[in-house]
Amino acid sequence: MPQTVNRPLNIVCLATYFKGVDFIRECKEHGCHVVLITKEKMLKEDWPRDSLDDLIAVPNDAGPPLFIDLLAFLARKRKVDRVIALEEFDVVTAALMREHLCLPGLSSSNAKVFRDKMSMAVHSRRAGINVPEFVPLVNADEVREFMERVPGPWIIKPRSDVSAIGIRKVQEPEEVWRAIDEMNERENLRERASYYLLARFIPGEVFHVDSVVNGKVVFAGTNQYGRPPMQVAHQGGAYISRTLARGSAEEKTLLSTNKKLIQALELERGATHAEFIKSDADGKFYFLEIAARVGGAYIADVLEAASGINLWREWARLEIADGKGPAKITPLRKDYAGIILSLAKQEEPDTSGYVDEEIIYRVKKLHHAGLIVRAPRLERVNGLLDNYGRRFVEDFVAVAPPPERPE
């Protein structure tokens, strides 16, 4: 049990990508000493430098040993109290850093559960949560038996990447065997077949539940994607996410399943982003994946627009208070919100032609067009997003092939 610290905390944040500005600001507003470690490629991003006591860039190919050594160097002059991963790719590294100095937080073994799709699927299935059938691409007999038992199509997906990175849909066993042979010839050992899963492809609508956790889920918001993220990544078009109807049967099922999931994965404190698919065939929800961090693609902004709750700031408050937070975080409002976001053919897309009063945020990112809307009624949000989806195709949408690995 960590001792209570009777002084402002010294917090080290990790961010391989540009994330967590509100987390950093909240920590500084509470008097914390905040250091951010990022990669050289991210050094020029718009970090909240006024809220940082130090900003350190490591080489883009830096591995955990360098991060651990850097943490030890920082701790020589100022005792470190927290190490926080603001981005998915830093979750395990942060855990290894914490273990090196015996700091509180997610252990490396638990962190790997949230980074390994096979591990999270195994834990979820043991907890009685529906999971699409899967098999690791390791034992040929197991793979063959799986394909004989589970009809195609199937999904080949990496066990540790995020979003649609590295995912491909396959129809025939020959495609699977060719993929296995190709992967096992790769020079990078961590890109070989044992680091991939073969899973049943389930057509359906995809939902996400985003939570703040403090021993249990203290706040959660449910949203539905306009189109499955994998479909957007592979076929192009606009990404859409919107608040799920409050009090609906879908919302109740997702919130209940999400609580069971987080309990099964034994997360003590933090933020989570979980995704589920509702099968077109049987109407059941199936678990897809979960991450121990705040969702990307402006998900936190949409949730804040609808509820008034900022996931980053709530998470920061729990860390500062060492978990001594409220048993439940009550939304400040119960509006509906949504986002439309797409890769744009223009370097600086002009969305000034979109003038509806429900628009509360315009994405400012090179080669991206995006709008967040808020309204008291879900029907209005849906109508706006559907309309914008058609207009974005003509005005902005550009298509790029999904990456095989994170850039």
The whole domain housing 158 covers 133-200
Quick one: three-class SS letters along 25-49?
HHHHHCCCEEEEEEEHHHCCCCCCH
Instruction: Please tell me whether the peptide bond between 173 and the residue prior to it is cis, using omega within 30 degrees of 0.
Output: no
Q: 212 and 224: one domain? A: yes
In terms of pTM, does the model score above 0.85? yes
Residue 405 has a pLDDT of 57
Q: 246 and 331: one domain? A: yes
Residue 1 has a pLDDT of 42
Report angle CA 370, 374, 375 to the nearest 5 degrees. 145
Total domains, the chain: 3
Q: 338 and 383: one domain? A: yes
Q: 263 and 292: one domain? A: yes
Does any domain span residue 246?
yes
Residue at a domain's end among 200, 222, 245: 200
Q: CA dihedral in degrees (323, 50, 347, 16; nearest 10)? A: -50
- Helices and strands, counts by H and E, the chain: 12, 16
CATH number, position 138: 3.30.1490
Q: Hey, what are 172's tokens?
A: 């025939």
Output the tens digit of pLDDT for each of the chain's 407 residues.
Answer: 444 567 899 999 999 999 999 999 999 999 999 999 999 999 999 999 999 999 999 999 999 999 999 999 999 999 999 999 999 999 999 999 999 999 999 999 999 999 999 999 999 999 999 999 999 999 999 999 999 999 999 999 999 875 556 789 999 999 999 999 999 999 999 999 999 999 999 999 999 999 999 999 999 999 999 976 766 755 667 999 999 999 999 999 999 999 999 999 999 999 999 999 999 999 999 999 999 999 999 999 999 999 999 999 999 999 999 878 888 999 999 999 999 999 999 999 999 999 999 999 999 999 999 999 999 999 999 999 999 999 999 999 887 665 555 55
**Contacts with 292 (C-beta within 8 Å, 6 or more apart), sequence order:** 85, 91, 106, 111, 114, 267, 270, 271, 272
Q: 108 and 214: one domain? A: no
Q: 72 and 89: one domain? A: yes
Inter-residue contact 381 to 248 (CB < 8 Å): no
Q: 310 and 354: one domain? A: yes
Q: CA dihedral in degrees (151, 156, 162, 166; nearest 10)? A: -140
Residue at a domain's end among 147, 182, 200: 200
297: closest CA among 389, 245, 232?
Answer: 232
Residue 327 has a pLDDT of 87
Residue 2 has a pLDDT of 45
CATH number, position 251: 3.30.470.20
Residue at a domain's end among 165, 200, 235: 200
Residue 406 has a pLDDT of 53
